[in-house]
Structure 1
Amino acid sequence: MCGITGWVSFDRDLTREREALEAMTRTMACRGPDAHDTWFERHAALGHRRLAVIDLPGGAQPMSVRTPNGEVALVYSGEAYNFAELRDELIAAGERFTTVSDTEVVLRGYLRWGAALADRLNGMYAFAIWDERDRKLVMVRDRLGIKPLYYYRTRDGILFGSEPKAILANPLAERAVDLDGLRESLAFTFTPGHAIWAGMRQVEPGTVVTVDVDGVRERTYWRLETRAHEDDLETTVGRVRELLDDTVRRQLVADVPRCLLLSGGLDSGTLTALAAAHLGDERVRTFAVDFMGQAENFRPDDLRDTPDTPFVRDVVDHVGSEHVDIVLDPKTLADPEVRRAVLTARDVPTTLGDMDLSLYLLFKEIRKRSTVALSGESADELFGGYRHIHTPEVQQARAFPWIAFNVGPLDKDGHGLDRSLLDRLALEEFRREEYGSAVADIKRGDAEDDHEHRMRIMINLHLTRFLRFLLDRKDRLSMAVGLEVRVPFCDHRLVEYVYNAPWSFKHYDGREKSLLRGAVKDVLPESVAWRVKSPYPSTQDPYYVRQLQVQAKELLADPGHGVFELVDRGWLRATSDLEPAAVDRVTRLGLERALDFGVWLDLYRPDLTLA
């Protein structure tokens, strides 16, 4: 895993812009702590920070090949899990290799197949290739959007980077955020291609973006499509197991220490059990997050019926993993420097509060022992694991399901924000428009009744909108500490197959994720196989709430702070004076958001246009 950045300019000599490119590349240091380098041609400049995972001595970047008609250079972030097969195919076609890295497979695959290489890749990746032969830049992003890639058009070319901060380090990029940017940050609609920074875009998942002197063009090489599902239930269950076995096997390949993120749920338990089987005599390593006193003092709420710890222990005992619990104390969790690190990593002004803070701290501890981790993102979106998916009112709502249910840490009503700002943002109108746009292209299957089609819409929205938010969160917080997180449930073959299986298969025994449970229950302890979905944990310690209130009062002590263009000062003052026990979940989210905005404004100094 790595951080990439670059600059294409058709009117200037970029060999004279080394300092600017170096500044852009330095912002990616956390993503690539092992090495860095740059590459220059008159009209193109590429920067790379490397996290070495495969072929440690041979995979250095930028990587280039000289051809009779010009040089072709690559900066690449991610993993191609089928690189061994592609390498054999390329060798058979006459390509010669000097390394055993997947990076060279991508580069030589482009030389052989051009941008059509993207159709052949299985993996998570974001890469950019400068092709001097045609004076063009080709940017490619993986099908599900696991790895990020942003770009910013200039007068005579383009800036790009794995994260907005790389682009913002270039003096040509304006640090501007307007109402559209804030709307995207607060509405929780997760619009494809949108970035909160004015003038900045994301390369959309499954897309090739080509930049040349004539401008910017996009080609979609993959999208989630409705297809007929011919297999019966028994065959479908077996095929899901085959696909999971294969993708876990592929994603365990690395030349560095690997581990599993284990929550004690069906998803992470599945990956852990399958990984243990593939590793054989090599003991699988697992990590879990917990909060000091959480297991003893746990109180069920509307999202979580049980603590994770007992179920984590059941999986550990079942597979015999080498396990570590990362137990976080509330003082560390509430440390303002941790929030600052999280906001720096994410580049956006809102987080999931303590759920982001604890995930960052978990990754930071894991990185001391492992470089690669496997995680269960996409299982709930793909197999229908969320509770709200099974709620009739949400199923029938003409709204994004997570907004209709007001899921977990997503406060749809903007508690604590300035009222006049909320009026200008018109979030409800924006959400209605985005919902209509999102569902317009979801094709109905030939044999689908109304309920089956509604459930297809629910799954589609989670995979094409909500999942992208979760993947971006996981990428940013893991790469902030140089940890590569792989997501086997995002294998596009599995996604295509399960997406088109009927809802009646996904729910065949009346339980959530029936199809997944049926495919893997033989490798899991019974307690985990039948455990009800429980979201990522959140601290219940009142000390944490008190510290949020203390920090809110510190923010209030600076009456000229720009945060009060966004946050209601009176609401923040009243909330900071409440007894911690009186601060409910939604109010706490408002406190977290106020602090997030304050830190983000201090870090990025954006030019806010709120008219």
Structure 2
Amino acid sequence: MCGIAGWIDLRRDLTEQRRLLRAMTDTMDRRGPDASDVWTGGHAGLGVRRLSVVDLPGGVQPMVHPSDDGPVVLAYTGELFNFVELREELVQLGHRFGTASDTEVVLRSYLEWGRDCARRFNGMFAFAVWDARVDELTLIRDRFGIYPLHYLVRDDSVIFGSESKAILAHPQVRATVDVEGLREALTLVKTPGEAVYRGIRELPPGTMLCSSRAGTKLHRYWSLPAREHTDDLDTTISTIREILEDTVDRQVVADVPLGCFLSGGLDSSVITALASRALKRRQQDELLTFSVDFKDHAEHFKGDGVRNTMDEPFVQEMVRHLGTTHTTVMVGPEDLMSEENRRAALSARDLPTPLGDLYTSLYVLSRGVREGCTAALTGDASDEMFGGYGWFHDQHYRDTAMLPWVEASRRMPGANTIWSAGLLAPDLQAKLDLRSYEQDRYSEALAEVPVLDGEAPLDRRMREITYFNLTRYLQIILDRKDRMGMGASLEGRVPFCDHRLVEYVFNIPWAMKTFDGREKSLLRAATADLLPPSVRDREKAGYPVAVDPAYAARLRTKVAGILRSSDSPVRELLDTELTQRYLDDPEGPAAEQANRSSLEMVVQLDDWMRMYDVEVAL
């Protein structure tokens, strides 16, 4: 894992711009604390902050291949899980390697196959190649967008970075947010390509950008395919298990301490069990596992339909079952309201979020995990693929023309959430028209869904809902994992995002996916022998949230301070009278989880506008 940045300008010589490239790159020091370097020459400059995971001495970047016609320079962040096979193939084709790193495999793959090399990669990655032989920049992002990559195109120049902050460090770029950007920031739609700041875009997953004297264009190199599924149930179950075992076996390879996030749910428990087996086959050290719990959580816990059971009892059962070395990271109200933690989480994301303390607590958890290991496997992407969320199984969401998680957020107790414009000033509500924005994004997503001729209506609809989850909601989940993990210099690996597995499961008919009448039927069947019955049969539970009243009280105190402050930048966006009524009646609407997140969003917006000197252009 690394952070990359760069600037390409075909109208000027950037050789002397090392200081600027270093300033851009160093904004991402937490993404790469182990090493930093920049390369400049001719019309290009590239920088890398490195978190060393594989071939610690050999993967130095930017990596340069010299040639008589000009150098080819790579700035790469990621992991290739098939780099051993690719290396062997490249050696057979005549390439000679000077390192054991997957970085050099990426560079030599580009030299051999050009930008189509990405189609051969099994991994999580985002990288830039400056090919001085033809004065062309290529940016490439992995199929699911596990690693972020942002860019800005202006005339004959491209400025890019793993995070928006790297681009904002360029003197020609200002942190301006217009109506479209504010709509994206305040909703949960996660539109591919949108990055909130005016002019800055996020390279969509499975996409490459090519910029040369002929212009700048985007090319989609991968998308979810629609195929007929012909395997019977037993074959389907065994195939899922086979792919899962292979991908976890690949992803436990590292030259640094490796661990697993373990929540005691089906997904993380499956990955942890497979990782434990893989390490034992290699006769390596026992597996490190990590979970999060909140102080006094048991005292205040109440099932809410999303989280009906606490994690910790199931976590401990898995620890006993596998014999892992486990750490429970405890989080209290003081951790969630700590200015240091909140600023670190906000800086890692570059944006506020409607999901509030879910980000801060994951940052605190990631920081605790980083004390024990440098890379950790997670169970993310299983729910989106196998149908784990409630909206897959509720007829209301099948019948509603809206992204299901957006619809679910509006059905939560507490109607006046900020992402439905409840705490915004009335004139701003009207200008943003967030409901129409959400509906338009739904229509765009629906038009993208691949079609399989002759598919039954139910299978067609479930394919659509699965597609929405894999191309939109999963982006929220993966971005949260990456940003909060890298805020603590922790690499997160996502075995369920192996494209072979996703392509296979995406095309399984819905009746087979739910053959025993439960969510994630196929995953339970494929991994039943790995888990204790209680964990195998546990009902889906979401990531835990703080329920201690002390946290809500501290949050209200923070919002009250914002309302009193004459220089608070967010006040002009708010319905201050309504917000004050929330504070005056803590047992009323503000007590609902969704509306508590609205107050959290007020605080984040204020911190964000101050920290990034945001100009709101309405």
Fold match (TM-score > 0.5) = yes
After TM superposition, the structure 1 = structure 2 runs for residues 433-582 of structure 1, keeping only pairs within 5 Å, are 433-579=440-586
- Asked if 1:583 corresponds to 2:586, the answer is no
**1:363 paired to 2:366:** yes
- Tell me the residue number matched to 1:322: 325
Q: Give the conservation status (yes or no) of the 8 Å contact 1:207–1:221.
A: yes
**Shift, 1:22, TM fit:** 1.3
Q: Counterpart of 2:616 in structure 1: which amino acid?
A: L
Q: CA deviation at 1:303?
A: 1.2
Deviation at residue 576 of structure 1 after TM alignment: 2.1
**Take 1:539 and 1:187, find their aligned partners in 2: how far apart are those partners?**
22
1:45 maps to which residue? 45
CA contact (8 A) 1:545 1:580 kept: no
Which amino acid letter does the alignment assign opposite residue 166 of structure 2?
A
- Separation in 2 of the partners of 1:470 and 1:76? 22
Give yes or no for the alignment of 1:374 onto 2:377.
Answer: yes
Residue range with higher mean Cα deviation, 566-575 or 340-349: 566-575
Deviation at 1:351, TM superposition (A): 4.5
State the distance in 2 between where 1:242 and 1:586 align: 40
Deviations 1:464-488 (A, max 9, x none): 1110111111111111111000000
User: Which amino acid in structure 1 is aligned with residue 231 of structure 2?
Assistant: D
Partner of 1:430: 437
Which amino acid in the other structure matches residue 591 of structure 1? L
> Structure 1: how far apart are the matches of 2:218 and 2:443?
23
Q: Which residue of 1 aligns with 2:34?
A: 34
8 Å contact from structure 1 (residues 298, 540) kept in 2: yes
CA distance in structure 1 between the partners assigned to 2:315 and 2:352 by the alignment: 33
**How far apart are the structure 1 equivalents of 2:426 and 2:380?**
35
Give me the identity figure in percent: 46
Q: Residues 302-341 of structure 1 correspond to what in structure 2 (within 5 A)? A: 302-341=305-344
Q: Which residue of 1 aligns with 2:3?
A: 3
**Which residue type is aligned with residue 290 of structure 1?**
D
Structure 2 SS opposite 1:15? coil
Q: Secondary structure at the match of 2:286?
A: coil
Q: CA deviation at 1:300?
A: 0.9
Mapped pair 1:16 → 2:8: no
1:299 maps to what in 2?
302
Distance change (3 Å), C-alpha of 1:336 and 1:417? farther
Stretch of structure 1 that moved more, 122-131 or 388-397: 388-397
Deviations 1:139-163 (A, max 9, x none): 1000011001000012321100000
Q: CA RMSD in A?
A: 1.4
Counterpart residue number, 2:613: 605
- Matching of residue 74 in structure 1 with residue 74 in structure 2: yes
State the AA in 1 paired with 2:203: V
Q: How many Å apart are 1:42 and its aligned residue? A: 1.5
Counterparts of 1:88-487 in structure 2, within 5 Å, are: 88-280=88-280, 281=283, 282-406=285-409, 412-487=419-494
Q: Answer yes or no: is the 8 Å Cα contact 1:59–1:104 preserved in 2.
A: yes
The one-letter code of the counterpart of 1:518 is: A
1:62 aligns with 2:62: yes
SS of equivalent to 2:485? helix
**Could you say what secondary structure the match of 1:388 adopts?**
helix
Q: How far did 1:2 drift? A: 0.1
Quick check: 252-261 or 391-400, which moved more?
Answer: 391-400
The code of the aligned residue for 1:523 comes to: L
Q: CA shift at 1:298, angstroms?
A: 1.7
Distance across 2 between alignment mates of 1:373 and 1:414? 37
Q: Which amino acid aligns with 2:437?
A: F
Q: CA deviation at 1:412?
A: 4.4
Q: Spell out structure 1 runs of 4+ moving beyond 4 A.
A: 407-412
Q: SS of the counterpart of 2:193?
A: coil
SS at match of 2:15: helix
CA contact (8 A) 1:343 1:351 kept: no
Aligned AA for 2:191?
T
For the 8 Å contact 2:224–2:450, the answer to whether it is kept is no
Structure 2 SS opposite 1:110: helix
Structure 1 counterpart SS, 2:49: strand
CA contact (8 A) 1:549 1:577 kept: no
1:542–1:580 CA contact under 8 A, matched in 2 = no
Across the two proteins, how many residue pairs are aligned to each other? Answer: 610
Q: Provide the TM-score with structure 2 as the length reference.
A: 0.97
Q: Distance in 2 between matches of 1:21 and 1:386?
A: 43
Distance, in Å, in 2 between the alignment partners of 1:411 and 1:299 is 24
3-state DSSP of counterpart to 1:253: coil
| One-letter identity of the residue aligned with 1:524 | L
Q: Gapped runs of 5+ residues in structure 1? A: none
Aligned-residue offset at 1:385: 0.1
Q: CA deviation at 1:580?
A: 5.3
Change (3 A) 1:502 1:412: farther
The whole-number CA distance in structure 2 between the counterparts of 1:8 and 1:212 is 10
CA distance in structure 1 between the aligned counterparts of 2:344 and 2:29, rounded to whole angstroms: 14
Between the aligned partners of 2:316 and 2:197, the Cα distance in structure 1 is 44
Instruction: Give TM-score, length-normalised by structure 1.
Output: 0.98
Q: Which moved more, 1:413-422 or 1:260-269?
A: 413-422
**1:396 CA displacement:** 1.2
User: Aligned pair in 2 of structure 1 residues 466, 151: CA closer, same or farther (>3 Å)?
Assistant: same
* Structure 1, 312-321 or 401-410: larger mean CA deviation: 401-410
SS in structure 2 opposite 1:14? coil
Mean Cα deviation higher: 338-347 or 133-142: 338-347
Hey, what's the Cα distance between the residues in 2 that align with 1:359 and 1:578? 29
SS at match of 1:240: helix
Equivalent AA in structure 2 for residue 589 of structure 1: S
CA distance in 1, matches of 2:298, 2:242: 36
Letter paired with 1:585: Q
